[in-house]
Amino acid sequence: MGFRWERGTARDKIALYEIVRSLLKKKNWEWKTLWKEMKFEVGMEYERNFRRGEISTSRAVQIFKWVQDNYPETAAHLESILEDALASLDPNNPWERLIEERGEFSNLELSEVALPRYVYDGPRSKITEERSSSTPIQRTVKLYQRFSFRVESPFDGQVLGFQRTGGVWWPIPLGRTLHKKWPSISAGKSWWPYDPDDEDRSAPQFLLRASEEPGLHMIVFPILRDASDIRINASNENRVPPDVLDRLAAKLSPLPPDACRIFRMNVMVRDLDEPEERKPVPG
C-alpha cells in the first residue's frame, strides 16, 4: 500500500516539489513543459505555490502519478520518505520523546556569516557546507543564507548534529567526516562545522546553508562524554531512518546529565520573497 495522499500535508507536497524539481533538471525541462505534458492550466504563480505546498491534493496526486509512471524508483523513494516523516511526528516514539524530555533550549547559537564565494565541495545534506574566514553577524536566516552554529559544551566529549525538516530527520554535516564517527568537542564554546586539520576554533571555518526547504527546522545537538561504543549508521547525504534514531535514543536515555546533554533550537528558514514579520509598535 502506497502513501495515502488524502492525508498529505503541505510538507508532503513540498517534498514532492523537490523530487519533481530534481527530475526536471535532469531532463532539462522548464516547469511549463511539465504542465503542458500533464495538460494543466496554471497561472504564473503555480510553481511558487507548489514550492510552498499550496496546491490542491488532487493536483498533488496527479503529479505524483506522473512521477510514478515515469520514475517508479523515485516515486517509491519519495513514499518511503513520507512514511518516515509520519513515524517521526509520533510524539511517543523513543527519539521524539527523548528530545522533548531532555532537550534544552540553551548552549546553542546560530550566527549568519558573510564570506567569499568559495564553496566547499564536501558531502551534501539538506544543509550544505561552505568555507568561511570572516566574522559572524547574528540576524534572521533566509533561504540559501549561510550560517554557523556555536555550541557551548559542559564537558569534553563527542557531538553530533541533526535537523528535522518536513517531518524527516537529516544529519547536519559537522566537518569532512561522515556520521559514522562522532567528532570530538572540547568544554566551552566552539564553532560548528569545523575543519579537524585547523586548530583555530575562534571563528567559523565551514558554514551551513539552508539550501532546499523553507519553514521550521528543529536543530538538535547531542553531546556525550564518551561515545566510543555508540555507532550511527548514517551519512551526510541521506536522511536518518526512524529506527536508527530510536536505537540511538535507547543508548542515550539511561545516561545521566553529566554524561549526556542534548541542546536544541528551532530555526525558521524564510523564503526569499517572504516578508519579514512586523514587530508591533509600542503604543
Note whether residue 282 is domain-resident: no
**231 in the same domain as 129:** yes
| pLDDT score at 125 | 43
Domain range spanning residue 147? 94-269
Q: Are 18 and 213 in contact (CB under 8 A)?
A: yes
Domain boundary among 59, 88, 117: 88
**82 in the same domain as 98:** no
**103 in the same domain as 65:** no
Domain boundary among 45, 68, 88: 88
Note whether residue 167 is domain-resident: yes
Q: Determine the Cα–Cα distance for residues 114 and 122; give it in Å rounded to an integer.
A: 19
**169 in the same domain as 76:** no
| pLDDT score at 133 | 39
Q: Residue 26: enclosing H or E segment and its boundaries? A: helix 10-27
| pLDDT score at 78 | 81
**190 in the same domain as 157:** yes
| pLDDT score at 172 | 85
Instruction: Dump pLDDT digits (tens) for 59-105.
Output: 999 999 999 999 888 888 788 777 766 665 566 788 988 998 999 99
| pLDDT score at 139 | 39
| pLDDT score at 236 | 59
Domain boundary among 88, 108, 130: 88
**Is the pTM for the entire model greater than 0.85?**
no
Note whether residue 27 is domain-resident: yes
**125 in the same domain as 207:** yes
Note whether residue 113 is domain-resident: yes
**221 in the same domain as 128:** yes
**147 in the same domain as 204:** yes
Note whether residue 197 is domain-resident: yes
Task: Identify the bridge partners of residue 146 per DSSP, sorted by sequence position.
Answer: 209
Q: How many domains does the chain have?
A: 2
Q: Determine the Cα–Cα distance for residues 135 and 129; give it in Å rounded to an integer.
A: 17
| pLDDT score at 147 | 79
**39 in the same domain as 113:** no
| pLDDT score at 203 | 60
**205 in the same domain as 186:** yes
Note whether residue 279 is domain-resident: no
| pLDDT score at 199 | 61
Q: Determine the Cα–Cα distance for residues 118 and 133; give it in Å rounded to an integer.
A: 10
Q: Determine the Cα–Cα distance for residues 273 and 247; give it in Å rounded to an integer.
A: 40
Q: Are 219 and 163 in contact (CB under 8 A)?
A: yes
Note whether residue 186 is domain-resident: yes
**168 in the same domain as 142:** yes
User: What is the mean pLDDT of each successive set of 10 residues along the chain, which is 283 residues long?
Assistant: 73 82 87 91 87 87 91 83 64 85 91 50 42 37 75 94 81 66 87 68 61 73 90 69 87 95 86 49 40
Cβ neighbourhood burial of 238 (10 Å; 0-12, 13-18, 19+): middle
Integer CA distances (angstroms), 248 to 98, 186, 219, 229, in order: 10, 22, 16, 11
Note whether residue 252 is domain-resident: yes
**151 in the same domain as 249:** yes
